[in-house]
Structure formats: C-alpha cells, structure tokens
Chain A
Amino acid sequence: MAILSFSGFIPEQICDTVRFIRYSGKQKISHYCGYAADFIAQVLEDPEIDGAVFPRSCDSSRVMTSYLDDCGKFVHQLHIPARQDAPAVRYLAAEIRRYKQAVEAHYGATLSDIPERAALVNERNRAVARLYENLSEVLFSAYLDMLHCLLQTPLREQAVPDNLPGKPGNGKRVYLVGSLLPGSTAGSAMERAGLAVVGDRLTESKRLFSAPPVPASGDVYENIAKSVLGNKLSPTQNNFGAILREDLEEIRAKQVRGVIFVTQKFCEPYDYLFTAYQRMLEEQSIPALRLVLSDSMDERTYEAALEAFADMI
C-alpha cells in the first residue's frame, strides 16, 4: 500500500503512509490552498500512490473528499476535533479505530503492530527533539531535508542521524512559524541572508516531535488520540492563545531577533493566526517577515526580502 497522507494529524502508529511534501500537478482550484491542490493532484495523477488519507481540519481539507471520491483509490478522511478535552479524546480514538478498520478493509490487511509502531514513533520523536535542541548549531536546510526524507520513509526504516552539518558562522537568530515547508530552498536562502533559525513551529519539526509519547499500556487508540491532541497546536485547533503563549516563551528564551512567518496562499488558519501573531510581536517590538508560497512547488527564495529583513534586525 502507498497511501499519501496530508498533515501531521494522521497517526503514524496505524500504518505507513507517504507524507505529502510537494508535487507538480495539473489540479488548480480557484481560491484554494495550492499545497492542498497539489496533494489532490498527486493522488489523482501519480500511479505509485494508491490511497489518500487526510484530516478535516481546515476548509481546504474539509472538501477534499469531493475532489477525490471517484478516483478509485482508497480515500479516507479523519475528523480532527476542534477541542482538546476528554470528550474530544474519546471521539478521536473512535475516529482512529475507524481509520484502521478502513485501511484493513480496503487493503485486506491486518494491522496488528500498532503498539510496536507507537514505540518506534516515540523513539524517533525523542531523537528529532535532541537535534532540535541544538538547532542553532546546525544547518537548518539540512535539518529540513532530513525531516522530509524521514516522513516519506517507512517507520521501521527511519533513521535519525546523531549530527547534522554545522552552520558556517553565527547568524542572526530568527524563529520560524508556518505549516509544512515543502522544500529546503527557503531555509537555504535564510542561511545565505545571514539568518539562523533557532526555533520553529513547523508541522514537520516541532509539531512532529512534541507529540506526547504513546504509553505501552491502556487503550492504544485513546493513547494515540491523547498524543495527537496533546501535541503543540495547529491554528486549526482553535486555541490561538496557547500558540502565542508558548511561542513567545521560546522566542524570549532563545533571544530571537525576528520572526519569519511562512504561509500558503489561501490558507486561512495561518492568515488569521498571522494577524494575532503580528499584534503580539508588535507589542514585544519583535520584527516579523511574512513569506507567502503559492503552492508546494513554489521555489522562490525571497532573497531580497530575507536580506532586507536580516539587515533590519
């Protein structure tokens, strides 16, 4: 099976999926997130992909089934609760069980290694967290490449290196906010502009390894649900207050001089978050730069904007 997954909400403990990073496809939808449209395109066009799993967490993902339900491949949507309380955990646990059953029914497989997979995810996350602790010492572009590679590799074959190439010198310390960065070109451009990413709230980085470990005992589905909902929040989870509080704490602790906010065009959750985020940064006199990507293949490096930002901070 080669199921393409969209977003970090899809629990890796259930089965291997290929995490969507980028794709150049024909699917263009007006006023619609380009990253989501590229995901739809890959599911429809890529013969290597035989299924799709995605959350219902934003408007673009909410309507994906309408674009995919007659594609003849496995298509499953997971409703991610808008809350993080006990009823939401119970509900999500039922959703995750339903996802497992759907995979088994479609592929005629038996998914019996969920506890083992949960342990592997815990271990992998701990290893990535150790790298993140030293983010200021390593090349951010190399860190991103490593993460993207991990997410497209079956769980049992994933290997997190102990070290990554170091930075050539001390850059100006910045914090990075956004969903998934589809390539490392923006990261490389930041380094060329003399910026050093020392922390982030990216889906593939902090919002990957910060999920609380899934314990070995108890109801495995509830434990996975707790882990998903106990992770660092996405703006789709309706708690901007928590996001701003946590990020500001890290920004202060790491003595960050500026924040770079990377969004996809027509991604409303991050557009709304940015408005609140910018107000918070203004109150703290921390400069912000916003980069808007048009789709998953957007290779613009924003050299001029990044250099100007580096000069400013």
Chain B
Amino acid sequence: MVSSTQLQAKLMREYYQDFSKYAKGKPPVHKTAWVTAFTPVEILEALDIGYVYPESYAAVIAASGKEQAMLEESERQSLCRDCCSYSCCFEGSLILGSGPRGLPPKPDVLIATNNQCNTLPGWWNMLARRYNVPLIVLDYPGEAAERQDALAYVTVQHQELIAQMEALSGNRLDMDRLARLLKNSASSVAAWRRVVELFSKRDISPTLLFDGISHLITSRCKPETAELYAVMEAELSELPEADGAKPALFWLGYPLWYHAKRYLPELLEGCRISGSNYVTWWSLDYIGDTPLEQLFHAYNYTFLNLKPETKRARLAACIEQSEAVGAVSLHNKSCKCDFVSARHIDIPQAELEIDMIDRNFLNMERAKRQIDVLLESICTG
C-alpha cells in the first residue's frame, strides 16, 4: 500500500515541476498565475492554468534556512521590514534570483484576494509593477456584509475572472469539470478534518499537521489530496493514544516555518500540543446548489473573513475539541489579522512575539520565561 510520505512527495513533485523546469530555461506549457492562498484555484485548474503560491514559497525558503539573506536584500531595496515577512522574503528571492527550488515561472497574471488580509493585494501591486502583467484583485466582503449583496458582488467577480482566464488560456470553461474540481476540494477538506480530529487523541507531532496542510493549500482540488489525507488518517489512527498525563496546549497562530519542527518543542518539554487554529484555516465550506454559489460560500466565508463573534466561537470550539488547558498564542509581526481572536479565550496563555519567517525575531529567553509561567499556572491552577 502506498504511504502518505510517497503521496506527499508526488504532490510536491507535481507542484514544483515547473519551478525546476523554469530554472533550466524551459518555460511552462501552460499559462501561469501567481495567486494568494485563498484564491478560487478551481477556476484556474478547470482552465489548465498553472498556479503558484508566493506565500508558500516564502515558507519553503525559511524552512531551507535561507530567509535572512532574502530579508536583508528586500530591505536594501527599500521594502520596509515591518511588512509581512512572506512578502519581504519572497521579494528578496526575486531580487537575488534564487530560491531553494529554483524560481517560480514568471507570471502571466497576478490574482490577489482580500479574504485573509488586506496586505496581500498591496504586495501583489508591487509584483504587478515588477512584471507589468495584469493584476486581478478579488474582493470578498465577508460575513459582516448582507449575504445577498455579497453574493451578487462576488459572483460577478467570479464570472469576470472566468472570462479573463478563458481569454488568457484560450480554453473554454467546462462547468461540469469545475463542479468535479469543487467536489474534489470538498472531499479534501472532509478528509483533512478527519485527520485534524485525531490531533488531540493520538500521539501526533504538530509538525505532521503543519506540513500536511500545505497540500490543502496548493493542491486542494486534485483528487490525490483527499487520497493522501485518507492514508494519513489511517496511519495516524495506528499511533499510540495521546499521553493524558502531559498537559495539553493549543498552538494559536502560524507554524514557525524556519524551525525544523515548525513549533518550539525545546521550550515545551513535558507538554503536548493537542490543537491549532492554523490547521483549520483551509477547511473551506463548499456549500451551494451551483458551482458559483459554492465558490462564493467557500471563499467569502474564510475564517479571517468572518465576524469577530463567529471567529471567537469557532476558536472556542476548536480549543474545546483539543481539550487544551493552556495556549501558546503567537503575536505574529507579519499578521495583524491573526492573533486578535486570542483576546477572548479563557484558558491561560503565553503570548509570544514571533514572526513566522524571520528566526531572529523571537527572543528565546523571554519566550522560555513566558512558557514557564504558563506551565506553572496550569500545574498549580
């Protein structure tokens, strides 16, 4: 039987195949879009347009230990280091013309969405200046808007996107194919949710989930993704039960991409991580009778596009499911939208100042003290 490692390697190979070909001077067969992490890529996939996620690549650069050179270079070129480190790191990579897997193929179009933050469209504007290619910004009003107004507004944009991508690719959209791809995405989400449910129950390293979710980002509408997660679920179900004697902690925020384990096990001895909100972010709900309704629901109601009270309720449910008695809450320099929900959680927290890309941002001594205080309060509480 094929293992999850083999399936992951296959998906990674497929995603990065154009990077290595491009590095050898071979342009990709298909047109290429650079997209943000919550772009409705099912439309692109249905039209045979390749897509690249600069945010994910910044994470890969950090994981390869090369982020400092990239951050310094982008700062030298006047990009403020206060900006999102994904953008600084990726920009540095473009300026230096290098990256751990080569460079992504030059974009034919740039597509940004504001359903996770308002920073990404700004970054994409910079990319549009660099490459002088069309920039499409998809505007998702979120849960706070009246549903009918938002549905009409977003649907028009999706229809326009389809028309623009048809013109770019020279292909005509087959609605049945789009419907099948949306079904694949929904299956990937359902399979991933079953994996996440095991997090608090089995002796699972958070690293597995932080790395595992990347396929839900880069390959969510491919049928192999649901297959991978089904295999993962079977493998993880075989692991020993979680050690109930160790205090369970919730990891509230991004993985630390630069860290070999993506979190801070060296500061968390004697504890276990039993849950994380990050691993639920791409669990999009493809609800609706038609493909356009499903696209609207999935991409307008992303976690970071919900009302504060809904986000708080979701986070509370997530924490409850994890059975965590404390939380490591990350104040991420790069993301204002992320940690604000942590203000209302009612378990003890260690609030760490971090950046998900820049390893030099975290003061380890201070973090150790904060986590020690957290553990003490849990153990004596």
The 0/1 profile, CB within 8 Å of B marked 1, for residues 218-241 of chain A is 000000000000000001101111
**Contact B118–A58 (Cβ < 8 Å):** yes
| Distance, CA A31 to CA B83, complexed state (A) | 10
The yes or no answer to A175 lying at the interface (CB within 8 A) is no
**Contact B83–A62 (Cβ < 8 Å):** no
**Contact B153–A275 (Cβ < 8 Å):** no
Main secondary structure of the interface of A (DSSP, over half): helix
A-B contact count (CB 8 A): 128
**Contact B337–A90 (Cβ < 8 Å):** no
**Contact B122–A235 (Cβ < 8 Å):** yes
**Contact A82–B114 (Cβ < 8 Å):** yes
A274 to chain B, nearest CB (A): 7
- CB contacts (< 8 Å) of B332 on chain A: these are 31
**Contact B336–A60 (Cβ < 8 Å):** yes
The 0/1 profile, CB within 8 Å of A marked 1, for residues 144-161 of chain B is 111001101100110000
The yes or no answer to A309 lying at the interface (CB within 8 A) is no
**Contact A31–B333 (Cβ < 8 Å):** yes
| Distance, CA A130 to CA B141, complexed state (A) | 37
**Contact B119–A275 (Cβ < 8 Å):** no
| Distance, CA A275 to CA B124, complexed state (A) | 12
In the complex, identify which listed stretch (B24-32, B125-133, B207-215) lies at the interface while the others stay far away.
Answer: B125-133
**Contact A278–B119 (Cβ < 8 Å):** no
In the complex, identify which listed stretch (B35-43, B73-81, B167-175, B291-299) lies at the interface while the others stay far away.
Answer: B73-81
In the complex, identify which listed stretch (A44-52, A63-71, A251-259) lies at the interface while the others stay far away.
Answer: A63-71
**Contact A276–B125 (Cβ < 8 Å):** yes
**Contact B146–A94 (Cβ < 8 Å):** yes
A79's contact among B79, B145, B331, by CB below 8 Å, is which? B145
**Contact A275–B137 (Cβ < 8 Å):** no
- CB contacts (< 8 Å) of A269 on chain B: these are 118, 122
Look across to chain A and name the residue whose beta carbon is closest to the beta carbon of B156.
Answer: A87
B313 to chain A, nearest CB (A): 13
- CB contacts (< 8 Å) of B340 on chain A: these are 63, 66-67
**Contact A272–B139 (Cβ < 8 Å):** no
| Distance, CA A287 to CA B341, complexed state (A) | 42
A275's contact among B77, B149, B333, by CB below 8 Å, is which? B77
| Distance, CA A79 to CA B129, complexed state (A) | 26
A309 to chain B, nearest CB (A): 16
The yes or no answer to A266 lying at the interface (CB within 8 A) is yes
B112 to chain A, nearest CB (A): 8
The yes or no answer to A300 lying at the interface (CB within 8 A) is no
**Contact A265–B82 (Cβ < 8 Å):** yes
The 0/1 profile, CB within 8 Å of B marked 1, for residues 81-92 of chain A is 111000110110
| Distance, CA A62 to CA B84, complexed state (A) | 16
**Contact B125–A240 (Cβ < 8 Å):** yes
B114 to chain A, nearest CB (A): 5
Known: A58-B118, A69-B308, A91-B149. A30 touches B353 (CB 8 A): yes
Known: A87-B156, A272-B83, A275-B77. A59 touches B118 (CB 8 A): yes
The yes or no answer to A268 lying at the interface (CB within 8 A) is yes
The yes or no answer to B238 lying at the interface (CB within 8 A) is no
Known: A32-B336, A235-B122, A271-B82. A88 touches B153 (CB 8 A): yes
Jot down 24 A-B pairs with beta carbons below 8 A, ordered by A.
Answer: A56-B118, A56-B144, A62-B337, A65-B307, A66-B308, A66-B311, A69-B309, A79-B141, A82-B114, A83-B137, A83-B139, A87-B156, A87-B157, A88-B139, A235-B125, A236-B122, A238-B121, A240-B125, A266-B82, A272-B122, A273-B122, A275-B77, A275-B79, A278-B78
8 further contact pairs, Cβ within 8 A, besides A88-B153, A271-B82: A32-B336, A66-B308, A79-B142, A91-B152, A238-B112, A268-B83, A272-B87, A272-B125
